[in-house]
Structure 1
C-alpha cells in the first residue's frame, strides 16, 4: 500500500468542541485513520496525525481545512505558537510505497485546491516550495498572522495559490512535504522568557546552531515557566539526546535547570532508541532487539 502521513496544525487548542468537529471532518474520509491528536491551551494549537492512501489523505486534509475555516476566527486568536491561519500548516510525509516527489506533487495539488475552492492564500514550503526562501517555514511565517495581513500584498510575499490577501477569518495556510520530524519541548525552572529565547537561538540552525533544528523560546502561561519549543527536523542528523544535552548545558550557563520535556504528537521509534542507546551507553545495540519489533 501507498501510505502518506499528514500532520496538520490548527490554531485552536482550547475549544475542544471545535477540535472534535475538525477531527470528524478527517474521519469522514473512508480509509483515513487518525493516529493522534494533541491540543495545547497555552499554544492554543492542535496537532493531528493521520495516515492513509495519498488521495484519501489529500481529501481529508482539505475537509479539515474547510472545517477549520468555518469555525476558527483568527481575528480572535491568541497563543504562544507562531501561526498564520486557522489551518496553520499541512505537511505531507512519505511513509510507505510513496516517494518524496509524489508527496511534493500531492502537496501542490492540495495547496491549489485550498486556494481556489476556499479562497485561502497558500504558501508552499519545505520540499514542496517553488521559491527557495519558502523552503524554511519560518520565512513563510515571518510577521505571523497580524504582520502577513499587510505583507502579503507585497509581490515577494504573494502566495503560491489563492488570493493575494488574507482570508478575513481563516488567514493563510502553509502546505508542504517533508521527512518525519519530532516536535519536542523542553521546560525550564524559570519564568525568564529571555533565557529560553537565548537557548533557542543557540541551538537552531538559522542562528548558527544545528542545521536541522528549529527552536523558539516561549512562556507557558498556565505554569508561568519558560519553554524551549523545538522541531527536530532530522533526528538522524541530531538525536534527541544531543538536543537535550545541549539545552541542559546552555541552561546551566544561566543558572537554571530542566524540569522536564515532552514530545508533541507521534515520534519514530528510532528516535527514542537513539536516546536510549546514548543514555544507557549500550554497545552494539540493534533495533531488532526490541521485543515489540519482533512480534
Structure 2
C-alpha cells in the first residue's frame, strides 16, 4: 500500500480571491500532492486547504504554501472573527494510509525547521509533535493571538521551537503539528448576540466542563448578522457530531434561541456523518459495509 498523508493548512485570508488562488496554486505545482478541497469564510477571514499524497510531496507542498502566504498576507492589517496568530496559522499533518504518527511528527519538524530558517517565522510544534505538554493544546499556543504574541514570545516558556524569538510583523507565527483527523463543525444561531454564542461555546467545550473532545468559541457572521458556535471535534469517534449539535441546541434553549443551521468546514470522514444518520434515524445494527459507494470502491 502506498503511503498517504493528509495536511490541512489554515491561512489568514478568506476575502481576497486572488490571494487565495495564488496560495492554493502552489499545491498544484507539486507532483505527488493532490489538492482535495479548499474553502474560505469571509467573516472568519480564513481559508482551509486539504492536501493528500506521498509524504515527501505533501511536505514540500506545505512549505511552499506557507512561503507564498508569507509573501501575500500582511498580518499587521488582518482582521477576522477566527483566532489567529499568523499568515499560515496552523499546519497539521494527519496519517491516512501506511503512515505512522511518528512519521507525521517528523514531517511537522521538517516543515517547521524550514519555515524558521528560510522564512524567518517563529514556529511552535503542537498536538502529537509538541515539545512540552503546554504546547499540546493549540488553543494554549495561540492564546493572545497575533497582537499578543509580540510580548508573549519574549517569555522563556514561549520561546519558539524553530525560528527567531521575535515576532514576524508581516507573517506572524505558525503552529505546525501532527494529529488524528478532526471535524470542523459550526452551528448557527437565530441571534446576533455574540455573547450568547460565546456563553454556549463555553458550556460545550471541554475546558468549560463540556464535551471531552470539543474545542469551541463564539463568533459573529457579519454578512448574515448571526452568531455562531464554531467548534473543532478533535476525536469524532469519542465525541460525535450529533452530540455537539444536540448540546448546542440544548444550551441555546435557555436563552430562547433556535438553531437555524450548521456547517462542516473542509473534508470529514464518512463515518462521522454515518454516525449522525444512525443516531437520528435510530437505525439498528448498521454496518459501514452497507454503504454502496464503499463497496463499489472496494
What TM-score does the superposition give when structure 2 sets the normalisation length? Answer: 0.98
- Alpha-carbon separation, structure 2, partners of 1:105 and 1:212: 25
1:126 aligns with 2:140: no
Indicate the residue corresponding to 2:173 in structure 1: 172
Report SS of the residue matched to 1:50: strand
**CA RMSD between the two structures:** 0.6
Give the drift of 1:168.
2.2
Give the drift of 1:197.
0.7
Indicate the residue corresponding to 2:61 in structure 1: 60
- Alpha-carbon separation, structure 2, partners of 1:189 and 1:168: 38
Indicate the residue corresponding to 2:20 in structure 1: 19
Report SS of the residue matched to 2:267: coil
Give the drift of 1:60.
0.3
Structure 1 gaps, min length 5: none
Report SS of the residue matched to 1:234: coil
- Alpha-carbon separation, structure 2, partners of 1:294 and 1:102: 30
**Residues 116-149 of structure 1 deviation map (CA, whole Å, 9 limit, x = unaligned):** 1110000000000011101000111110000011
- Alpha-carbon separation, structure 2, partners of 1:7 and 1:46: 10
Report SS of the residue matched to 1:216: strand
Indicate the residue corresponding to 2:240 in structure 1: 239
- Alpha-carbon separation, structure 1, partners of 2:181 and 2:154: 33
1:145 aligns with 2:118: no
Q: How does 1:272-291 map to 2 (within 5 A)?
A: 272-291=273-292
- Alpha-carbon separation, structure 1, partners of 2:154 and 2:109: 22
Indicate the residue corresponding to 2:184 in structure 1: 183
- Alpha-carbon separation, structure 1, partners of 2:3 and 2:63: 19
The list of structure 1 runs, each at least 4 consecutive aligned residues, that deviate by more than 6 angstroms after superposition, is none
- Alpha-carbon separation, structure 2, partners of 1:293 and 1:142: 41
Structure 2 gaps, min length 5: none
